[in-house]
Amino acid sequence: MAKNDELDERKLLILKAIIDDYIESSEPVGSRTVAKKYDMGLSSATIRNEMADLEEMGYISSPHTSAGRVPSTKGYRTYVDKILEPVSKDPALANDIITKLEEKMSDYGKAIKACAEIVSQLTNYIAIGVSHGSTDNSVKALQLVPVDESSALVIVVTEDNSVKSKLVTLDEKIAPEVLIEMSGIINRYFYGKPANTVTLMTLNRIAEEAGISRSALLPFVDAIFDCINECGKDEIYTEGTAQLLRHPEFDSIEKARDFIEMIQDGEMIEKIVSSSEDLGNGLTVSIGTENGYDGMSDFSIVSVKFEVDGTCIGSVSVVGPTRMDYANVISSLEFMKRMLEKKSLEGGGSRLIGDGSGKDEKGGSGAEVPDTNGDGDGNA
Amino acid sequence: MAKNDELDERKLLILKAIIDDYIESSEPVGSRTVAKKYDMGLSSATIRNEMADLEEMGYISSPHTSAGRVPSTKGYRTYVDKILEPVSKDPALANDIITKLEEKMSDYGKAIKACAEIVSQLTNYIAIGVSHGSTDNSVKALQLVPVDESSALVIVVTEDNSVKSKLVTLDEKIAPEVLIEMSGIINRYFYGKPANTVTLMTLNRIAEEAGISRSALLPFVDAIFDCINECGKDEIYTEGTAQLLRHPEFDSIEKARDFIEMIQDGEMIEKIVSSSEDLGNGLTVSIGTENGYDGMSDFSIVSVKFEVDGTCIGSVSVVGPTRMDYANVISSLEFMKRMLEKKSLEGGGSRLIGDGSGKDEKGGSGAEVPDTNGDGDGNA
DNA sequence: GTTAGCACTCATTATCTCCGAGTGCTAACG
DNA sequence: CGTTAGCACTCGGAGATAATGAGTGCTAAC
């Protein structure tokens, strides 16, 4: 009955057939199906014996006596770790993605949101994007824009290029010229320094230099800090909720609702992701019961972290039923990781698709986009 | 048999009872229920006679012989137009909403998105927010922020205070000082003018003045126009998709999916909204078959347009089953309209919000807020 | 080791029956 | 005349029961 835990070639093949079929059909797979559809050159009876072994070893199980077999968590795990071979993305598609991504490529937050959207479309599952707030809260640029005689827009650009704005309304009127002058002064004092190093002293100086009272300055400073704080916040984007309804596991409304409510809990997702094992390519996969949460035992999470200059700027996770198209999900996420990290390497420029790993590199077609911003529309 | 089409007092009362009950229970309402639960001082037999009349007149219908009655489109219409009395919002709730809204109140797009979110939560239906792009494409302010030696962030503020940014990457290096100088020059030439009045001539002048080649200037100008265009685009926010699953009409997945797919078609929604009749308070209601679309015959749309200074800045629509809690939906939307328009009247009026961490500007706290909102509505 | 054959299991589906909510109608009542 | 009680009738929905068939495990033969 198969020694200990190793699967021989044939058992692996059968396990793969079962999982492939189950992923496709979402129905328990019988021995006959495996024998016929996957053309193993064996009779169903033989398959049956092997399947009995696989069940005994815990790779598959049967929901009830007269149903076929269903992969277990262990089965999926083996499938993901040992059986799955990488699928490469269609280059044409890749090109599409790149143009889409390029449009959004001004700060990491937007980029990650766009990634999540794309991944969700690519995989038909829910994708959760998390963009980590920058830890560096230095101000790169800052501007006060007069709106009307007693209000102004405060715009702050932080070290990671994210732009935040806030409207400030004052009790008293303030002349546009004063605002513009203030803009310059504040800029000078805030520029490049971590925001928390700005002292009361500094504020006094600014006020003095701008020739306004400190109480008039405060609203602006508050707004600036609000903007900075906002940059420091993690942001969570959940994309493709409607995709859910495409999958047969959500045949009842309750299940769908429970699931949606569950994944609202961003913290849980984060915990699961951080505790699940790395696949070696920067992706982590948590399958079914592995995640340890009761309600999540029928779901899997595949997640990828994006790293730029050695720091993690965020992640995108796909959450779906354990019966998930791992090949597609994994390759999609891998692909997005390459895209995004490559992009940011170029400082937002574009040098087209997939780097190494050999395949689908054929530079030709769109590969020459390196001139400025996307679509090469040369005219104004 | 009730003359022609007018409903007497009693019939109205019965119709109201039927609709109220149906909204609550989603099940056909029988004569007994009306007689007992709504305490009319009449026997079920009498009610039965009246209901037969109502059916004959087209206000209600019965799904089959031995079921109760269900309101028809005409019935709902009468309910909305003649029976419904305004419900006022809980002041405490109102306060919550105001603070929520205040945080997002920097440009109309964000505000409308926030409104849609709130309305969706308030009503448990899907809310679709549309923020109309500004027709005035003048630039209010503009800044180039150096990112690294060959790229920069272009930030544009348009007339309606929306802030857009775009990353520009150049083929050649450019010194930060040059950028900052350019920033000033471009600002000067673009400021206050409609973007489409900027001529080639102007570009030449800018290039000359900044001392750079026109081809180096172009990417920036492109980016600026991109930003402006983005401001001009309508944006659509669909909030609360998950709410859908709370309602018994979506008992089957297919229905839910069909519905979601249907409302993705923003154009249809817009058409329906624009062709449906105004309720007199700035709200439009389209009930069931009224909208004229086949697949939408079981749904209603309640919509409100937000107007500031006489121009429409956007709208929020609630889309749900005909059996919708009109009272709640209508009052919620009315309320949001008042809130939003009042806010923008005050110039976006955050009166130093957020952190109550000490610097509490007098006007601030919640004290003043309650009377600004609906219910007591003495003003505005 | 592989395969054919067979008895057995059990979820799913179809068919039937029964129940009761709700109706419309009629006749009696104030 | 409007209102009410009573009653026969209808028809959807819930449950019970039976038929179906996919899939299994086991045994014996190749």
In a domain, B335, yes or no: yes
Q: Which of B205, B231, B257 is the last residue of a domain?
A: B231
Tokens of B101: 């809204």
Summarize pLDDT for B216-258 with one digit per residue, the tens: 888 999 999 989 988 888 999 999 988 888 898 888 888 888 8
- Distance of alpha carbon A331 from its chain centroid, rounded? 13
Residue A160: both structure tokens together: 């990671």
- What lies within 8 Å, CB to CB, of B75 at 6+ separation is B15, B18, B19, B54, B58, B59, B60
In chain A, which residues have their Cβ closer than 8 Å to the Cβ of B218? 378, 380
Identify the pLDDT of residue A195.
82
Are residues A204 and A172 both part of a single domain?
yes
pLDDT of residue B3 exceeding 70, the answer is no
Instruction: Find chain A residues with C-beta within 8 A of B256's C-beta.
Output: 245, 253, 256
CB contact under 8 A, A253 and B256: yes
Q: What CA–CA distance (Å, rounded) separates B283 from B276?
A: 10
Domain membership flag for residue B2: no
Which chain A residue shows the shortest CA-CA distance from B248?
A253
The last residue of a domain, from among B67, B83, B99: B83
Residue pointed to by tokens 């994994």:
A330
Any idea what the CATH number is for the domain that residue A331 is in? Answer: 3.30.450.40
Q: In angstroms, what is the C-alpha Rg of chain A?
A: 27
Report yes or no on A366 lying in a domain. Answer: no
Residue B242: list chain A partners with CB under 8 A.
241, 257, 260-261
Place of tokens 């007092």: B9
* Partner A contacted by B247 (CB < 8 A): no
Find the mean pLDDT for residues B13-27: 96
Per-residue confidence (pLDDT) for residue B277, from 0 to 100: 83
Domain count, chain A: 3
DSSP state of B245: G
Q: Is the dihedral of CA A337, A342, A345, A348 positive or negative?
A: negative
Scan residues 186-245 of A and list those with Cβ closer than 8 Å to B: 218-219, 222, 226, 241-242, 245
Mean pLDDT for the stretch of residues B190-207: 86
N-term to C-term CA, chain B:
46
Nearest-CB residue to A153 (from B145, B157, B165): B157
Verify that A217 and A285 share a domain, yes or no.
Answer: no
Give CA–CA dist B270/A248, Å, rounded.
32
Å from A41 (CA) to D21 (C1')? 25
Can you give the pLDDT at residue A353? Answer: 30
State CA A55 to chain mean position distance: 35
**Residue stretches of chain A with pLDDT short of 50:** 1-3, 348-380
Q: Which residue has the higher pLDDT, B191 or A24?
A: A24
Q: Which of residues 87-106 of A touch B (CB under 8 A)?
A: 105-106
Same domain? For B75 and B29 the reply is yes
- Protein-covered nucleotides of chain D (CB closer than 7 Å) are 3-6, 9-12, 21-27
Cβ pair B164, B154 in contact under 8 A: no
Please say whether the beta carbons of A316 and A333 come within 8 A.
yes
What is the per-residue burial (b if ≥16 Cβ within 10 Å, else e) of B258-284? ebbeebeeeebbbebbeebeebeebbb
Residues B104 and B240 in one domain: yes
Q: Is residue B86 scored above 90 in pLDDT? A: no
In angstroms, the CA B287 to CA B326 distance is 10
Q: What is the pTM of this model?
A: 0.83
Checking each nucleotide's C1' against the CA of A67, the nearest proves to be D23
Q: Which nucleotide's C1' atom has the smallest distance to the CA of B27?
A: C21
In terms of Cα–Cα distance, which of B154, B153, B157 is closest to B140?
A: B157
Using DSSP's 3-state secondary structure scheme, residue A371 falls into coil
Over 80: is that where the pLDDT of B358 sits? no
Last residue of a domain, one of B182, B205, B231: B231
Q: What is the mean pLDDT of chain B?
A: 84
Q: Residue A315 forms beta bridges with which residues? A: A130, A305
Query: CATH number of the domain that A198 lies in?
Result: 3.30.390
The answer, yes or no, to whether residue B65 has pLDDT greater than 60, is: yes
CB-CB contact of A218 with B353 (8 Å): no
Task: Determine whether the distance from the CB of B65 to the nearest atom of strand C is below 7 Å.
Answer: yes
Query: pLDDT grade, residue B22 (50/70/90)?
Result: very high
Q: Give the nucleotide at minimum CA-to-C1' distance from A30.
A: D23
Q: How far is the C-alpha of A299 from the C-alpha of A288, rounded, in Å?
A: 5
CA distance A353 to A331: 14
Asked if A145's CB is within 8 angstroms of B169's CB, the reply is no
For A290-340, the DSSP string reads: GG--GGGTTEEEEEEEEEETTEEEEEEEEEEESS--HHHHHHHHHHHHHHH
Tell me if residue B56 falls in helix, strand or coil: helix
* Whether residues B65 and B192 fall in one domain: no
Residue B4 binned pLDDT confidence (cut-offs 50, 70, 90) = low
Residue B298 placed within a domain: yes
Give the max Cα distance, chain B: 92
Q: A352 and A249 in one domain?
A: yes
pLDDT tens for each residue of B25-60? 999 999 999 999 998 899 999 999 999 999 999 999
Three-state SS at B147: strand
Share of chain B above pLDDT 90, in %: 43
Q: Is the dihedral of CA A35, A40, A46, A50 positive or negative?
A: negative
The verdict on B222 and B252 lying in the same domain is no
What whole-number distance in Å separates Cα of residue B352 and Cα of residue B211? 42
Per-residue pLDDT tens over the stretch B90-140: 888 888 888 888 777 777 888 999 999 999 999 999 999 999 988 777 888
Whole-angstrom CA distances from A343 to A222, A310, B97, B227 are 34, 15, 40, 21
Task: Report helix, strand or coil for A232.
Answer: helix
Which residue in A113, A245, A350 has the most chain B C-beta atoms within 10 A of its own C-beta, making it the best mutation to test that interface?
A: A245
The residues that bridge with A126 in the sheet, in sequence order, are A319
Among B117, B120, B167, the residue to mutate for chain A (most A Cβ within 10 A): B167
User: What is d(CA A140, CA A144) in angstroms, rounded to the nearest whole number?
Assistant: 14
- Confidence at residue B87, expressed as pLDDT on a 0 to 100 scale: 82
Domain match, A74 and A97 both: no
Q: Are residues B244 and B326 in the same domain?
A: yes
**% residues pLDDT > 70 (chain B):** 89
Mean pLDDT score, B199-218: 88
Cβ of B42 less than 7 A from strand D: yes
Half-sphere exposure of residue A213: CA atoms within 13 angstroms, side-chain side: 7
Which range marks the domain in which residue A22 is found? 9-83
Helix-strand-coil split of chain B, %, nearest 5: 50, 20, 30
Q: Which residue type, as a one-letter code, is found at position B302?
A: V
CATH code of the domain in which B68 resides = 1.10.10.10
User: Does one domain contain both A111 and A256?
Assistant: yes
Q: What letter does residue A133 receive in the DSSP assignment? A: P
pLDDT digits (tens, 9 = 90+) for B311-347: 899 999 999 999 999 999 999 999 999 988 887 656 5
What residues contact residue A271 under an 8 Å CB cut-off, 6+ apart? none
Task: Pull the structure tokens for residue B8.
Answer: 């007497």
Q: Are A102 and A217 within one domain?
A: no
pLDDT given at position B211 = 87
The mean pLDDT of chain A is 84
Q: pLDDT at position B2, please?
A: 41
Considering the domain architecture, whether residues A120 and A248 belong to the same structural domain is answered as yes
Task: Determine if strand C comes within 7 Å of the CB of B46.
Answer: no
